[in-house]
Structure 1
Amino acid sequence: MKSMFIKSRHAKVGAAPGTLVHVGEQRTDMTTVRVMAYDAAEVKSSALLHITENIPLPPEKGVLWINVDGLHQIEVIKKLGHHFDVPALVLEDVLNTDHRPKLEIHDDFLFIVVKMLVREPVSSSFRTEQLSLILGDTFLLSFQELDGDVFDPVRTRINDSKGRIRASGPDYLAYALLDAVVDNYFMVLENISTELETLEESLLTDPSPSDLQRFYRLRREAILLRRVIWPVREALAGLMRDESARINPETRVFFRDIHDHAVQAMDIVESLRDLASSLLELHLSRNSQRMNETIKVLTLIATIFIPLTFIAGVYGMNFDVMPELHWTWGYPLILLFMLGVAVLMLFYFKRKKWL
């Protein structure tokens, strides 16, 4: 079973610091490198089919965005890192897809690690994917584990020159990507909230044995969301406090807005986790209550039949000389007597409010 929280890192055991080892899902397809260079006047997009092709140099003006999909081809990451003078320790963190979200401030760039939440199309669950950003003076490198992301609206804004993104630097591009990541958190949280509401309604109207498995899955997802969003909030707070020239004062205001959204998402996660725990306790309580009701009914039935069984046992003894043994109306009278005993016991139980 693949762990939801910890990825296998046996290949890194004993390796020297800075050794480039991919920690994550092993894949056989090619790593995709997409290049987008833009300024206020124009946009140029291309794909590097082979990393041996000429990698664009950071422009003197405008923004160079290089997005990498797939981290399993270490040579691609190594060449990009060498081209942009990224230290091996940073590249090691890029390849470690089980890394905790964080912010590192270097002399020539900022290194940001966050987690994307991507909804699975064939199930009601989601997967986590690490996103690493290296923010330079005129360039931004983004590294993702898999193809597909939440950045299509950002690419559309760049191509259509919507908003201020084309007139801003790479710091604003980093903001736009992080904003898309955090906004997607709310979509995942909304789906979980809707499923919890459905479970709550099912629990109160028509509970099912499969509800318990759904409760455990949603609670597990809530724990994972807390593990993802909490450090992202800390990293965004660090970007707000960063005094380096790579974050313009005008852009720092937008990072404050993302931080507020991350705090709000964290509050929702805590609420959903508490709700999942409460519903789980309610589910177990309802099951226990139903079992107690069943045991209560069975106990009352057994209690009623105890004196009836005694009477039937007495008159079932094989003695020749017994009172009422040879009465013509003995059998129906005994049945009526047993019925009367049962009715009196039911009346007594009702009066005691045991029924």
Structure 2
Amino acid sequence: MPKRIKSRKSKIGTAPGTLVHVGEHVSEDVKITRISYNKENFNRAVYEDIEKCLSSCRDDSINWINIDELHSIEIISDIGKRFSIHPLILEDILNTTQRPKIDIDNNYIYIVVKMLYYDKSIKEIKSEQVSLIIFENYILSFQEFEGDVFDDLRRRLELDKSNIRAKGTDYLAYSLIDSIVDSYFDIIESIGNSIDTIEDILMSNPSKKTLDDIYKLKRELIFLRNSIWPLREVLAKLVKSEYELIEDKTVMFLRDVYDHTIEIVDIIETYRDILSGMLDTYLSSVSNKTNEIMKVLTIFSTIFIPLSFLTGIYGMNFEYMPELKFKYGYLIFWIITIACTLSMIHYLRRKRWF
């Protein structure tokens, strides 16, 4: 089972706005990627120093700065000073336990989104926090690890005739969120395939592993729902409210993403209902198996009750039992035994016990 709650011990007792990284990192190196583009030009470069990255940005272009690995507090602090970002926002960027949310400032919009992956080998959903800060000509994205779902978006930006090259940072932010939401459908599809597989097993030969798989998928769906449901609130605010950084033309696209999140949540609820029904089916199947076993045992017990009675009587060694010295007593005993057995079988069949 994946670890869902990250330790916040390092945050205990610190003042608000204190920059402390909460989370894990797999690499000691921080990767800073800058993409600058406009209608005519596109440029992409990777840096290790944030100052060199910022100094290479162009005012006549849209500048997308992406940072992989958040353990470098110095880099986050330098970015905060350069763009006048509130310390509480910087604290939230470093604290990777945030739920999806949105904060509005006079000069920027801060958005937290959960980027999710479905590991098919272990059938678990892995989560990564992505923080976006939208400015007029800049958009900053912060990721916990290297690797994301934005490769298709980057390829679109490289194309000279791409429509996105003629739009602002609000449309780029929409494209980033849309890429993340689209990846949710892949997770939903994988979970749906797993449910179909479990359903087939449930109808044929359910086992203890089937029950474990059902509970595991239920946990995954709960985690998925908790990661996506708050995103609806974020998108609703972007769609219903008027912000200078969000153009009216972009609102229509954001509304489309909002509809996708509603669709995903509805599918999740449907899958949860299906799994609950499968759990009931499994318990009913196990109960029926137990009943069948008890029925067989009861039939055997019923057949052997009169036989046990007979053997109990003639197992007594009283001296004056008249049948003890009877010449054909043993044969008669077996005749009576077989007759009793056949009579009990006939009686139980008439009662439709088997």
Same fold (TM over 0.5): yes
Contact 2:26 2:145 (8 Å CA) reproduced? no
Q: Which residue of 1 aligns with 2:220?
A: 221
Q: Do residues 186 (structure 1) and 175 (structure 2) align? A: no
- Closer, same or farther in 2 for the Cα pair 1:255/1:70, shift >3 Å? same
- Closer, same or farther in 2 for the Cα pair 1:100/1:16, shift >3 Å? same
Contact 1:151 1:177 (8 Å CA) reproduced? yes
Corresponding residue SS for 1:166? helix
Q: Which residue of 1 aligns with 2:301?
A: 302
* Aligned positions of 1:275-314 closer than 5 A: 275-314=274-313
Task: Give, in whole Å, the separation in 1 of the partners of 2:278 and 2:53.
Answer: 57
Shift of 1:54: 4.8
Task: Give, in whole Å, the separation in 2 of the partners of 1:96 and 1:251.
Answer: 29
Corresponding residue SS for 2:231? helix
Which stretch has the larger CA shift, 27-36 or 252-261?
A: 27-36
Contact 2:25 2:69 (8 Å CA) reproduced? no
Corresponding residue SS for 2:207? coil
Task: Give, in whole Å, the separation in 2 of the partners of 1:326 and 1:97.
Answer: 92
Which stretch has the larger CA shift, 150-159 or 327-336?
A: 327-336
Q: Which residue of 2 aligns with 1:130?
A: 129
Contact 2:214 2:275 (8 Å CA) reproduced? yes
Q: Deviations over 1:36-60 (max 9, x none)?
A: 0001111110111233535237643
Q: Which residue of 2 aligns with 1:200?
A: 199
Equivalent pairs, count: 354
Task: Give, in whole Å, the separation in 2 of the partners of 1:352 and 1:231.
Answer: 60
* Aligned positions of 1:48-127 closer than 5 A: 48-56=47-55, 59-120=58-119, 122-127=121-126
Which stretch has the larger CA shift, 265-274 or 114-123?
A: 114-123
* Aligned positions of 1:259-274 closer than 5 A: 259-274=258-273
Contact 2:36 2:57 (8 Å CA) reproduced? no
Letter in 2 for 1:3: K
- Closer, same or farther in 2 for the Cα pair 1:197/1:305, shift >3 Å? same
Corresponding residue SS for 1:325? helix
- Closer, same or farther in 2 for the Cα pair 1:11/1:201, shift >3 Å? same
Higher helix share: 2
5+ residue gaps in structure 2? Answer: none
Task: Give, in whole Å, the separation in 2 of the partners of 1:49 and 1:326.
Answer: 107
Task: Give, in whole Å, the separation in 2 of the partners of 1:326 and 1:163.
Answer: 109
Shift of 1:309: 0.9
Q: Which residue of 2 aligns with 1:3?
A: 3
Letter in 1 for 2:131: S
Shift of 1:244: 1.3
TM-score (norm 2): 0.95
Shift of 1:120: 2.4
Q: Deviations over 1:234-256 (max 9, x none)?
A: 11111102311211111110000
Q: Deviations over 1:257-276 (max 9, x none)?
A: 00000000000010111111
Q: Deviations over 1:335-354 (max 9, x none)?
A: 22122212222222222233
Q: Which residue of 1 aligns with 2:245?
A: 246
Task: Give, in whole Å, the separation in 1 of the partners of 2:309 and 2:29.
Answer: 82
Quick one: percent identity of the two aligned structures?
A: 43
Contact 1:118 1:149 (8 Å CA) reproduced? no
Task: Give, in whole Å, the separation in 1 of the partners of 2:100 and 2:183.
Answer: 16
Contact 1:116 1:131 (8 Å CA) reproduced? yes
Letter in 2 for 1:303: T
Q: Which residue of 2 aligns with 1:45?
A: 44
Corresponding residue SS for 2:184? helix
Q: Deviations over 1:101-138 (max 9, x none)?
A: 01111100111111011122643222011111000111
* Aligned positions of 1:315-330 closer than 5 A: 315-330=314-329
- Closer, same or farther in 2 for the Cα pair 1:75/1:27, shift >3 Å? farther
Q: Which residue of 2 aligns with 1:154?
A: 153
Q: Which residue of 1 aligns with 2:31?
A: 32
Q: Which residue of 2 aligns with 1:17?
A: 16
Letter in 2 for 1:275: I
Contact 2:202 2:282 (8 Å CA) reproduced? yes
Letter in 2 for 1:301: F
Task: Give, in whole Å, the separation in 1 of the partners of 2:184 and 2:2.
Answer: 23
Letter in 2 for 1:107: N
Which stretch has the larger CA shift, 335-344 or 138-147?
A: 335-344
Q: Deviations over 1:168-223 (max 9, x none)?
A: 11111111111110011110011001101110000101222211111111000010
Corresponding residue SS for 2:323? coil
Q: Which residue of 1 aligns with 2:170?
A: 171
Task: Give, in whole Å, the separation in 2 of the partners of 1:326 and 1:286.
Answer: 54
Q: Which residue of 1 aligns with 2:256?
A: 257
Shift of 1:28: 4.6
